[in-house]
């Protein structure tokens, strides 16, 4: 297994281009399965998760070609509505094929996702929503089997604005008979782009970006081309590193997707300037501690919680970081404490007491964003840090060591 080595405490400067969004391209790829011609998707990041999704789509029968950020998907040969355990267990987002394949074939068999590094991640909202649309759902040998001759529009109220469940139900409802209204829907930019993409394919969806999405079912969809929106979580990861180590500019971003982070970065004393597609950050002379409570979009993203905690390890004073989306997403804390951080966790809140500096050490990645926080920790620590099990970070970050090297970091990959 590869590891990433970092010689820390080197300043960052310059600019870095942000890739297409992992959490936008995965549902878009699933939606492409509803078209029977050829779709071209651009700004597709080269990640383990996008490669896993391509493998899954090929098992389902799509003909895919990925080269230099451009993915073509030919849906004409799709004939196997099944997502096997071997793939779903490595990537929960495989579950996104449930809605599209049920809509296209009337039957689909998807392995029930297990938990992940930080705990159980149920799919009950997805299944209840599909049952509202008329699907018959059974669980057989760890697989969800969903059946429906023709889905019927319905009114669905989510208990929680789940990103994945919103995506699955929007895709399933796109060709249902009649109108579907989803209340308490997810408002994330990735869901907005999914709905816009489905409309390019011939759907009739409105309200995306609000808590109520209306889908007027159509008979069929056609393939369409799309450019994936920028990855706001990758962007936030680099901004957090810049807040600690030097003035940097992130390019090819949508600054409005980062509003909740930018407000908090300014609260710590950082200077931020934006253009239409860039954000420049300059570190504060002295980092002021700032509390965070994560929330669904447009709140502070849970996917930036670990990175923010790494940032707060060097703040003046103490901060509280509460995660209201995942109450147990703190597997990065013991590893950051190995670098000399002073963090305690109680329930779903981390209490971070700022220290003078971190000191490099070997640490272990446990999930995508925890890995990112350990890389930030290594970049600010004095001495050498070894981040192990970097396959986690490769799931969600494209060429992260090359990008940080380009900003002046002393960081490289070694095969273990």
**How many chain residues bind ligand EPZ (CB under 6 A)?**
23
Shorter beta-carbon distance to ligand EPZ: residue 289 or 350: 350
Cα separation, 67 vs 70, whole angstroms: 5
146's enclosing H/E stretch is strand 143-147
Letters for 323-352 (x = contact with ligand EPZ by CB under 6 A, - = none) are --xx--------------------------
Question: Dihedral through CA 331, CA 333, CA 336, CA 341, nearest 10?
Answer: 180
Q: Which two tokens stand for residue 71?
A: 């993915």
CB of 222 to ligand EPZ, least distance (A): 25
Q: What are phi and psi of 23, to 5 degrees?
A: -80, 0
Shorter beta-carbon distance to ligand EPZ: residue 6 or 28: 28
Within positions 54 to 93, which residues make up the interface with ligand EPZ, using CB under 6 A? 92-93
What letter would DSSP give residue 123? Answer: -
Give 210's strand partners: 208
Quickly list H helices, 174-282: 189-200, 232-245, 259-267
Shorter beta-carbon distance to ligand EPZ: residue 233 or 407: 233
Is 64 designated active site?
no
**What is the 3-class SS of 359-413, one letter each residue?**
ECCEEECCCHHHHHHHHHHHHHCECEEEEECCHHHHHHCCCHHHHHHHCCCEEEE
> Three-class SS of residue 188?
coil
Q: Is residue 368 at the binding interface for ligand EPZ, with CB under 6 A as the rule?
A: yes
Stretch of 79-87, 118-126, 146-154, 263-271 contacting ligand EPZ, by CB under 6 A: 118-126
- Choosing from 64, 116, 195, 270, the catalytic residue is 116
CB of 127 to ligand EPZ, least distance (A): 7
Q: Is residue 114 at the binding interface for ligand EPZ, with CB under 6 A as the rule?
A: no
Nearest by Cα to 46 from 397, 359, 328: 397
Letters for 265-304 (x = contact with ligand EPZ by CB under 6 A, - = none) are -------------------------------------xx-
Q: Is residue 213 at the binding interface for ligand EPZ, with CB under 6 A as the rule?
A: no
Judged by CB under 6 A, the residue of 126, 132, 389, 392 near ligand EPZ is 126
Q: Which residue is nearest to ligand EPZ (CB)?
A: 164
Stretch of 97-105, 157-165, 192-200, 248-256 contacting ligand EPZ, by CB under 6 A: 157-165
CB of 88 to ligand EPZ, least distance (A): 12
Residue 40: exposure state from Cβ atoms within 10 A (0-12, 13-18, ≥19): middle
Q: Is residue 39 at the binding interface for ligand EPZ, with CB under 6 A as the rule?
A: no
**Which residues have a catalytic role annotated?**
116
């Amino acid at each position: 297994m590869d590891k990433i080595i970092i010689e820390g405490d080197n300043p960052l400067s310059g600019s870095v281009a942000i890739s297409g969004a992992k959490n936008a391209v995965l549902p878009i790829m699933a939606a492409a399965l509803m078209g029977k011609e050829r779709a071209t998707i651009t700004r597709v990041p080269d990640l383990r998760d996008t490669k896993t999704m391509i493998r899954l789509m090929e098992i389902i029968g799509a003909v895919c070609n990925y080269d230099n950020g451009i993915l073509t998907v030919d849906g004409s040969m799709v004939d196997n509505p099944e997502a096997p355990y071997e793939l779903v267990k490595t990537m929960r987002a495989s579950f996104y094929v449930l809605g599209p394949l049920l809509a296209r074939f009337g039957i689909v068999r998807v392995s029930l996702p297990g938990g992940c590094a930080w705990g159980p991640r149920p799919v009950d909202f997805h299944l209840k929503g599909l049952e509202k649309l008329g699907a018959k759902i059974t669980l057989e040998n760890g697989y969800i089997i969903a059946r429906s001759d023709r889905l019927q529009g319905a009114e669905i109220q989510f208990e929680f604005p789940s990103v994945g469940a919103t995506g699955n139900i929007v895709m399933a409802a796109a060709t249902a008979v009649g109108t579907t209204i989803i209340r308490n829907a997810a408002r994330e930019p990735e869901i907005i782009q999914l709905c816009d993409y489905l409309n390019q394919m011939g759907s009739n969806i409105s309200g995306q970006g609000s808590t109520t999405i209306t889908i007027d079912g159509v008979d069929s969809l056609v393939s369409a081309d799309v450019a994936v929106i920028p990855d706001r979580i990758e962007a936030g990861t680099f901004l957090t590193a810049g807040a600690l180590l030097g003035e940097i500019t992130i390019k090819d971003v949508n600054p409005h997707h980062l509003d909740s982070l930018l407000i908090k970065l300014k609260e710590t004393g950082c200077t931020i300037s934006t253009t239409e597609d860039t954000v420049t950050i300059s570190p504060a002379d002295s980092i002021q501690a700032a509390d965070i409570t994560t929330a669904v979009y447009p709140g502070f993203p849970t996917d930036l919680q670990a990175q923010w905690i790494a940032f707060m390890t060097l703040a003046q004073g103490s901060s509280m970081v509460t995660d209201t989306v995942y109450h147990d997403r703190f597997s990065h804390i013991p590893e950051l404490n190995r670098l000399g951080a002073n963090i305690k966790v109680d329930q779903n809140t981390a209490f971070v007491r700022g220290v003078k500096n971190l000191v490099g050490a070997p640490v272990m990645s446990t999930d995508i964003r925890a890995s990112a926080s350990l890389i930030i920790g290594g970049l600010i620590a004095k001495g050498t840090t070894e981040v192990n099990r970097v396959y986690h970070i490769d799931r969600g970050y494209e060429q992260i060591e090359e990008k940080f090297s380009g900003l002046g970091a002393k960081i490289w990959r070694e095969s273990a």
